[in-house]
Amino acid sequence: MTRPVALFVAALTLAAAAVGFALSQAASADGPGTKRLAYLYISGRGATARAWYQGAPPSGTPVQDALDKFIADGYQFAAISSGGLPSQVLTGGVPSLSPGDASFDAAFVILLQR
């Protein structure tokens, strides 16, 4: 074999081995190597704050109960996003709301992963 042909065959063999290795390491959708995400939507203040997630009751659950449930299932914190929504709509004008205002409800989205 000439040198260019030998290099081509070696490169082709190496590429085939790399593809075979990558395919053997790919996780299936149900396999143990897959990551799971949990999405929690939280609204309210203090002791009245409630969490909603897939499978939660329609009225939501206390935030600490929801966090305890997911931690017990092996989930860990991944990300959080916060914002706020006015708890009442005023007609005839734009309300001036600040985060400390009693009519301002905090809203959070927490992502957990396992």
Would you state the pLDDT for residue 84? Answer: 63
The more confident residue out of 5 and 43 is 43
List the domain boundaries for the chain: 35-88+99-114
The mean per-residue pLDDT over the stretch 6-35 comes to 54
- pLDDT of 12: 47
How confident is the model over 84-113, as a mean pLDDT? 63
Cα separation, 1 vs 107, in Å, equals: 69
pLDDT digits (tens, 9 = 90+) for 43-63: 888 888 999 999 999 999 999
The whole-angstrom separation of Cα 85 and Cα 104 is 6
Give the pairing type, strands 37-43 and 104-113: antiparallel
Structure confidence at residue 72 as a pLDDT band (50, 70, 90): very high
Confidence tier at 34 by pLDDT (50, 70, 90): confident
